[in-house]
Amino acid sequence: MCETMVDIVNTVIATDWSNEITAVATLLLAILTFIYVRLTRSILATHSDPCVVLTVVHDPEHATILQLVARNVGAGLAYDIRFEFSHSLPEKAFGLTVADAKNAKKMTTGPLINGIPALGPGESRKIDWGQYGGLMAAIGDSDIIATCRFKKNNKEMPPTKCPLDVKSFVGTISTEAPMAKTARELAKISKSIQDIATGSHKFKVEVVSTPTENESGKNNGKT
């Protein structure tokens, strides 16, 4: 009888432990599933986030011009894009060298000042900023830091900070795009034809006579 009672107690204890282990395992599984779902959702959301940056690049159509390019490099649609600058932003700062640089005015209008309503993935706004000498004369050795602010739907996204570097362009060159060069040459040809057609430039044809056979023989006989 005693042995039977001991067996029953051991069975109950084993059953209780089994239930507790199952409950703990179920709880851990639920927690891990919750974490996995949250991480998956966060990763998917990150892959669809917009990201707006502002950079300085060579103008592919004009070798000496530097452009400001605001671009959405993310995978989502960016709304209500705004820009803030550590220093005032010059515009049309032209001059190949600092010595021949023209006085640049402060930028007071345009997408970088008024903002951009929206940019899709890969979309951009390009602004001719100036030339190396003119920009260096306008901003000096200190980089201008641009802070790009934007939203995803109605949610404010973390801003991106972009240094608008000009110094590193010293000594660099930009190869003119073949299409741009071709278009410029075609424009010259078109203008020349138009000038001739309108009489602005007269088309001059000069006919040079060739020596006759007799004259050629006489010239050959000269000593």
Q: The tokens of 196 are what?
A: 């001739």
pTM of this prediction? Answer: 0.61
Query: What amino acid occupies position 73?
Result: V
How does DSSP classify residue 143?
A: P
List, for residues 125-147, the tens digit of each pLDDT value.
999 999 999 999 999 877 899 99
Between CA 156 and CA 154 the distance in angstroms is 7
Of 194 and 111, the structure prediction assigns the larger pLDDT to: 111
Answer whether residue 44 shows pLDDT above 50.
no
Query: DSSP secondary structure string, 175-222?
Result: PPPHHHHHHHHHHHHHHHHHHHHHTSS-------PPPPHHHHHHHHH-
List, for residues 46-87, the tens digit of each pLDDT value.
468 999 999 999 998 888 899 999 999 999 999 999 999 999
- Quick one: CA dihedral 81, 163, 171, 110, positive or negative? positive
Mean pLDDT for the stretch of residues 178-188 = 54
- Residue 7 pLDDT grade (very low, low, confident, very high; cuts 50, 70, 90): low
Mean pLDDT for the stretch of residues 115-132 = 96
